[in-house]
Each structure stands twice: as structure tokens, then as C-alpha cells.
Amino acid sequence: MASKQSSSACPRCGEPVSQRGTGRPATWCSQACRRAAYEERRAAKRGVIAVQVVERVHVTDHDLTECVARVTNSPSASRRALQAMTVLAREGVLSGHQKWSSTQTAVDRLAEAVARKRRN
């Protein structure tokens, strides 16, 4: 299940920014950083200094089972996952690295099941 609370870094000081479960995501770690950033942006307009939020990444922890369920319940997502696996197979990644051996076995089983179903 996805967590509703997450934390990111304040673009001004780098301290963690606590996120509430609802509402607009917080950008600043404190009122002091928010005010200071405002003053810095104001000064930047005059050409004195510049602070800019370039990228905000919002990450929540979740169970991989949820991702698998979502992919397998979507023909489009399933197709995209299979296409990505096909690319890995063609590049030799699946058969070339030990960490992929169980994935290669699962791919082989899928191919056998599909072939068997087509014959019946």
C-alpha cells in the first residue's frame, strides 16, 4: 500500500521537507526558508542573486505487489513490460547475467504456456 507521507529536500537549505497526506505538497522545510527564498527570488529579479527550484521529485514507498497488479490488469502496461523484456532478451541481458536467471525462467514458462494454449 502506498504511503501518504513522504519527504523531500528543501531546495534552499537541503533539510528534509515533511509532506502532509493531503493538500498541496510542501516545497520549503520552514517558514524561514520560504521567506528567505522569496527574498532571494526578489533580489534575483534585480540581478543580485538567483535561486531556482529546478526539479521536485515526489517519491512514496509502496509494495511491489501493487505495481505487478496494476501492470497485469492493464493490457497496455503489460504489452509495454513485455516489449521491454523483449529488448533485454535481444540484447542478451536476460541470458547474460546471473541476476536475470529467474526472470529468464519465467519468460520461458510464459512462452511455453502461450504456445501450449495456441496448440489447443
79-119 per-position pLDDT tens digit = 999 988 888 888 888 887 788 889 888 988 998 999 988 88
Read off the C-alpha cell for 33: 526558508
**What is the C-alpha radius of gyration for the chain, rounded to an integer number of angstroms?**
23
Cα separation, 112 vs 64, whole angstroms: 25
pTM for this structure?
0.45
pLDDT in tens, 12-64: 888 888 887 788 888 888 999 899 888 888 887 777 655 566 676 766 777 78
Q: Are 1 and 62 in contact (CB under 8 A)?
A: yes
